[in-house]
Amino acid sequence: MTRREWMQTGLGMAAGIMAASRVRGDEPGDDSDPAALIAKIGPMMEKIPVESAELGPGLHLIHGPGGNIAVLDGPDGLTVVDSGVPTRAKEVLETVKRVGGKPLVRLINTHWHFDHAGGNEVFAKAGATILATAATRSRLATEQYTEVFKMTTPASPAIALPTFTSDAFELHVGNEVVHLSAVPPAHTDGDLIVHFTSRDVIHTGDLFSNGIYPNIDASSLGWIGGMVAAADRILKLAGPRTRIIPGHGPMASREDLAAFRKMLATVHDRLNPLLDKGKTVSEAIVARPTSDLDSVWGKGFFTGGMFTRVAYDGLLQHRKTEK
Ligand SMILES: [Zn+2]
């Protein structure tokens, strides 16, 4: 899937609709409220087609509404990474079974967010055993309030919860060796990197959004310094030919991830002095620390103002918890 194809479909389409419907005023900061975004996402998710692409023998990508999904075909059935948004779960499951041609046996959650674990109940009822970090399980098991979106996510029913939790494990699926490793808090406090080592493909979950500003979930202890560290971790795993499935956006290379890491580190370095001076979130947004980066990175769900808000929120909270 090229960037152009991605922009024409799936989340690219969503991002385009977002950009077109966004309110842009003269006052800096008035495009910085992600809560307005969340009301639009639901109806938009209904319109985006579920699509698939082959990443090589026995490995498929499913993209469209929600985060990117990987499907690995193994001798015992299908192993799937992430389950998409709840409202499209049945359609996604049908697509998984169609491209994989086998029954579903296991589901890995990269983290708890509704656009990645929203299909858990439907997938579990179809026979999947769910694997995730303990932190992801505990967030799925309890009601979550996401401050920046002013959004409450109810606790998942028992069947939708991971039954196997660990921060590092290895799965042997046919000739594929899948390494799963958690990172310290970054996008959330339960992020998992999924590395298909034999095929040289990495699913990053939302530790990486290709070509666009990412969300950072401060309410789940995410913070930008952790995002930089996580990007470094993935860069170490990746070689020049590694193909990377980002949480959102088109398929990526190591260079795409390196560019994302550079953007994160740049913004981190600019926000730190604002924090040292005791600036509030609103003051940080008005300072427009991302103004020279927005034309490249601000074309997705998040404007520079929104990204500044989530990054600054996370940084503020991280400093508080450090003390
Ligand atoms: Zn996420």
Distance 240 CA to ligand 1 centre (A): 26
Q: What is the pLDDT averaged over residues 223-230?
A: 98
Residue of 297, 117, 111, 131 lying closest to 221 (CA atoms): 111
Contacts of 158 (CB under 8 A, 6+ apart): none
pLDDT given at position 40: 75
Q: What is the pLDDT averaged over residues 128-147?
A: 97
Distance 66 CA to ligand 1 centre (A): 9
Q: How many domains does the structure of the chain reveal?
A: 1
Work out the pLDDT band at 18, boundaries 50, 70, 90. very low
Q: What is the pLDDT averaged over residues 55-73?
A: 96
Residue of 71, 41, 90 lying closest to 194 (CA atoms): 71
Q: Picking from 24-28, 48-52, 255-259, which range would have the lowest pLDDT averaged per residue? A: 24-28
Residue of 57, 53, 39, 41 lying closest to 6 (CA atoms): 53
Distance 209 CA to ligand 1 centre (A): 10
Between 147 and 205, whose confidence is greater? 205
- Distance from the first to the final alpha carbon of the chain: 45
Distance 105 CA to ligand 1 centre (A): 24
Q: Per-residue pLDDT tens for 275-289?
A: 999 999 999 999 999
Distance 203 CA to ligand 1 centre (A): 13
Distance 25 CA to ligand 1 centre (A): 28
Q: Per-residue pLDDT tens for 232-272?
A: 999 999 999 999 999 999 999 999 999 999 999 999 999 99
Retrieve residue 294's tokens: 């927005």
pLDDT at residue 19 is higher than 60: no
139: domain CATH number is 3.60.15.10
DSSP 34: T
**Full residue range of the structural domain in which residue 173 is found:** 3-322
pLDDT given at position 29: 44
pLDDT at residue 5 is higher than 60: no
pLDDT given at position 74: 95
Distance 249 CA to ligand 1 centre (A): 13
Distance 28 CA to ligand 1 centre (A): 26
Distance 149 CA to ligand 1 centre (A): 13
pLDDT given at position 38: 73
Distance 75 CA to ligand 1 centre (A): 30
Distance 82 CA to ligand 1 centre (A): 11
- pTM over 0.85, yes/no: yes
Distance 117 CA to ligand 1 centre (A): 9
pLDDT at residue 115 is higher than 90: yes
Q: List residues, by chain if needed, whose CB lies under 5 Å from ion ligand 1.
A: 113, 206
pLDDT at residue 43 is higher than 50: yes
Q: Per-residue pLDDT tens for 164-194?
A: 999 999 999 999 999 999 999 999 999 999 9
pLDDT given at position 30: 53
pLDDT given at position 311: 98
